[in-house]
Amino acid sequence: MYDTGLMIGHFEPLHLGQMRSILYAAGQAKTLHIVIMAHPSPHPNFTITLQDKARWLQMACADLPFIHIHTTHEIELPLHEHLYNANEDVSANDDVTIDILASNAKLQRLANVLDLPTDAVLFIAENHPLTQGDVQDQLLLRVVTTPLQPEFDSYAIARDPVAHWSAIHPQARGDYTKTVAIVGGESSGKTTLIHKLANYYGASFALEMGRLYVGTDLGGSEVGLQYKDYGPIALHHAQAIREATANATAPITIVDTDFVTTQAFCEEYENCTHPFVAACIDEFRLDHTIMLDNNTPWVDDGMRSLGTPEARGRFEQRLVDIFARHHIKPYMIDEPDYDARYQQAVLFIDQYIYGKNP
């Protein structure tokens, strides 16, 4: 058992293999310091910050008080895993891509900042080039190896997180799921489509908050709906989306309507734009929006009031105008057949989130 251990990595994304290595190292050291570095080649489809990665690890290790999380903008520090493919064989003749002198200087600064004792050890995966005897002897800290996790290829996971969704740690999945809002006028088939898509992809979803709010705060009828209600509706919707993404079960999270729809109802009923809802449209930006044309039969469910062709057309135009106002380009589905709409939505999601060719 070592008194103090150090592990350094990109953790982008944090996956179960890395977590198992962390747990192994934590079992060998009384105190384990984990230092998170920025990734030199971040995935273009996901915006991940050092703070995001720190949060993942802080949450994952919240009940393990002997693990301490840190971040650094330093580069050329010796990473726990090989920089390329964690599953490839590394021979003694492979070139080490890390400048030992520069690494030692930065390790010394890091040791000073973290107040590491002189007998601290550095945990590195056992197939890393730095585990070669003549190389590790030059490092400032003693090297201790961790067993390989062959079923988790960090390089492949980082390159295609969607394809390796099940390997991503649950704390990190919220930053790797893409939100898809389904919007449209009343009786356009939004909610049915959402449930079909959620079942198809095994995805989490956030329900339409305006409809829930009418049921919980207005007694089931919009007769009492007024201007002051739109702020709470938007706020509750933001929280529902946050919870759905935080508990994401798939690379896609479905959202029933969006803040644009809330704004459209405010402008329809109150004849004015709500500034808080407008701020929500811009601040809580959704990744994709699918808009359903209002060309399906109108069904009166007791809560809908925009059933005439004139009202349906007017509301749809409101949506289009608000989207344009906030520089959002929805994907339009104008098939009047419900199943055709479903199939078209699946094709869109497969292409733009799962990367499948149409």
| pLDDT of 89 | 44
- Residue appearing with tokens 């057309």: 313
| pLDDT of 189 | 85
- DSSP 3-state of 352: helix
Q: Could you tell me the pTM of the whole model?
A: 0.89
Interatomic CA distance for residues 123 and 125, integer angstroms? 7
Mention the CATH class of domain 177-352: alpha beta
**Burial of residue 65 (number of CB atoms within 10 Å: 0-12, 13-18, 19+):** exposed
Interatomic CA distance for residues 290 and 19, integer angstroms? 36
Interatomic CA distance for residues 240 and 171, integer angstroms? 17
Interatomic CA distance for residues 100 and 98, integer angstroms? 6
For the chain, percent of residues with pLDDT exceeding 70: 92
How long, in residues, is the chain?
358
Domain 2-163 architecture: 3-Layer(aba) Sandwich (3.40)
Whether the bond between 232 and the residue before it is cis, its omega within 30 degrees of 0, is no
Interatomic CA distance for residues 184 and 190, integer angstroms? 7
Element (H, E) at 332: strand 331-333
| pLDDT of 88 | 44
Closest CA to 292 of 270, 246, 325, 261: 261
**Burial of residue 316 (number of CB atoms within 10 Å: 0-12, 13-18, 19+):** buried
Closest CA to 114 of 261, 251, 7: 7
Amino acid at position 8, single letter: I
| pLDDT of 82 | 77
Phi-psi region of 271 (alpha: psi -120 to 50; beta: other; left: phi over 0): left
Interatomic CA distance for residues 321 and 76, integer angstroms? 50
Q: Residue 33's beta-bridge partner residues?
A: 6, 68
Interatomic CA distance for residues 350 and 358, integer angstroms? 8
Digit-by-digit pLDDT tens for the chain (358 residues) are 999 999 999 999 999 999 999 999 999 999 999 999 999 889 999 999 999 999 999 999 999 999 999 999 988 888 999 765 444 444 444 444 567 888 889 999 999 999 999 999 999 999 888 888 777 788 889 999 999 999 999 999 999 999 999 999 999 999 999 999 999 987 788 889 999 999 999 999 999 888 888 888 888 878 889 999 999 999 999 999 999 999 999 999 999 999 999 999 999 999 999 999 999 999 999 999 999 988 876 666 555 566 577 888 888 999 999 999 999 999 999 988 999 999 999 999 999 999 998 7
Closest CA to 85 of 173, 17, 162: 17
* Comma-separated ranges of CATH 3.40.50.620 domains in the chain: 2-163
Q: Under 8 Å CB-to-CB from 54, ≥6 apart: which residues?
A: 36, 69, 71
Residues 341/292, Cβ–Cβ less than 8 Å = yes
Go through 273-304 and write b for each residue having 16 or more CB atoms within 10 A of its CB, e for each that does not: ebeebbebbeeeebebbbbbbbebebeeeeee
Cα angle 140, 144, 148 (rounded to 5 degrees) comes to 130
| pLDDT of 309 | 74
| pLDDT of 323 | 97
* Comma-separated ranges of CATH 3.40.50.300 domains in the chain: 177-352
Phi and psi, residue 333, nearest 5°: -115, 115
Interatomic CA distance for residues 275 and 116, integer angstroms? 51
The mean predicted confidence, pLDDT, of the chain is: 90
Q: Residue 286's beta-bridge partner residues?
A: none
